[in-house]
Structure 1
Amino acid sequence: RDVDKLDRQDDRAAARLFSAASIQHAIECGHSGLAIFLFIFGEACDAYQSRTISHTQRIHMVLLAFFFKLIWKQFLTENRYPIARHFLSQDADNILDILVNGLLALIIIHRDHLDPFPLLPWTHGTEVNEHIFGLLRSTLPEFTIVDALQMIPKLDVRLLAACRRKIDAASLQRGGAGYAHTHFDSSGAALDTLSYFPPQEVIEQVAHLAWTEANAIWEVLG
């Protein structure tokens, strides 16, 4: 169901794409380029979604993806390969830039203006809107703005239930299951870790490390 007759709103399928099992399968099939692609850009997603890693690690993860993308695009340009064919789509390219700049901005703003309040990156996104949209679709697949307004009381009840419901890890294995958000799941979140924001000199060191690693990974691809 992740390929045939797929549900384009299946969040579980998107999560499985970047899983360790998918990367391992790509390696075993000899698709090292695909494995590296899934690892690097999966890390960028995890930089927002992880509840446990430090903000220093998050910076490293998004910068690694950003620098890898930069090297990739520069290689295509220098060798006159068509970017439209061999690179990310323009939309994906722009979205990744927004994700990288957005996370860096959130960390710096919290460090300089909101310290010591913890930063919870997974709460800064469109998941809540998507969750509401999914609830509306489950009630009335083809709804109008009038229908949405009339369903607000019912949405309030279902959103409260979603806040209190524990996410079943086993349910993430289901295929073609539509929306599946973890926005309300803060289990394992270490608030002390999420309240520490690296100083500028540490960010610069992490950026240098990410650049070095991105170049090393590109060398592996030949």
Structure 2
Amino acid sequence: RDVDKVDRQDDRAAARLFSAATLGFVLEKHGSRLILASCLFVMGDMVDGWQNRCIPHITRIRMALRARFFLMAWRAHVLAHPQYSLEVQFISRESFDIFTFVCDALVLLIVTYCNYFPRYPLLPWLHSTEPCEHVFGCMRQLKRDFDIADFLYFIPKLIIHLSGKFGVLSPEEKENATAAGYHHTYFDTSDIDLPVLATWPTDSDIESVSLAAAQEAEQLLSVVGIA
């Protein structure tokens, strides 16, 4: 299903792509494809920076900055060599913009919470479109083709549908009962560590991990001949 007749809304296929098992398979069976392995590692870590329930925020910043530096250095290398082209030797412009925005947004979100909401834990996976997608999935069960007027009219029924029907389901069933292809995880709190999520890095911590992230990105790229 991940290759033939692909469901382009299958979130679990995307999760499998960035899993440790996939990375291990690539390294074991296709050891020469180091750029693929590097991209899977870096981009998977970037996603994990948003989705992980228990890692410290300073680690999230390191993951995000490593991905940003990796992409920036890769792009700069292509631009520095006239025989290369961004259209061939790099990801699409839209993907680059999205990935760098995702990296920047995570860092800024952590800094914002640190400066303005230090008493509250930051749950970055809730700062996403996931809950909206879940609600829209429920709404499509009530009326497949709806407009804003329909949505407003159906709010009472939608609330009952969400709170009543889902009340007897397990967290995983709640995540996936409303939209084929979607795999919602924002209900999952199995390994959440709230004290860690309410611990904030200092400016010196961020400066330190920024340097470390840049070095890690440089090392990963040097393995594939990008210096």
TM-score under structure 1 length normalisation: 0.89
**Larger deviation, residues 185-194 vs 65-74:** 185-194
CA distance in 2, matches of 1:211, 1:185: 32
Task: Return the letter of the residue paired with 2:158.
Answer: L
- Paired residues in the alignment total 218
Per-residue displacement from partner, 1:180-216 (whole Å, max 9, x unpaired)? 1011222221111011111001100000000001000
Unpaired runs of 5+ residues, structure 2, are none
CA distance in 2, matches of 1:202, 1:163: 42
Task: Return the letter of the residue paired with 1:14.
Answer: A
1:43 corresponds to which residue? Answer: 45
Per-residue displacement from partner, 1:33-92 (whole Å, max 9, x unpaired)? 211111100100010000010001000100110000011001100012111222222222
1:95 corresponds to which residue? Answer: 98
CA distance in 1, matches of 2:123, 2:212: 24
CA shift in 2, pair 1:193/1:71, >3 Å: same
CA shift in 2, pair 1:157/1:180, >3 Å: farther
1:27-176 matches, within 5 Å, as 27=27, 28-30=29-31, 31-80=33-82, 81-160=84-163, 161-162=165-166, 165-168=169-172
Unpaired runs of 5+ residues, structure 1, are none
Asked whether 1:3 is paired with 2:7, we answer: no
Aligned 8 A contact 1:54 1:194 in 2: yes
> Aligned-pair RMSD on alpha carbons?
2.2
Aligned 8 A contact 1:76 1:82 in 2: yes
**Larger deviation, residues 153-162 vs 37-46:** 153-162
**Larger deviation, residues 136-145 vs 95-104:** 136-145
Task: Return the letter of the residue paired with 1:67.
Answer: F
CA shift in 2, pair 1:195/1:141, >3 Å: same
**Offset at residue 101 of structure 1 (A):** 1.5
Match of 1:70, SS state, is helix
Task: Return the letter of the residue paired with 2:116.
Answer: H
RCO higher in structure (CA 8 A, sep ≥6): 1
**Offset at residue 164 of structure 1 (A):** 7.1
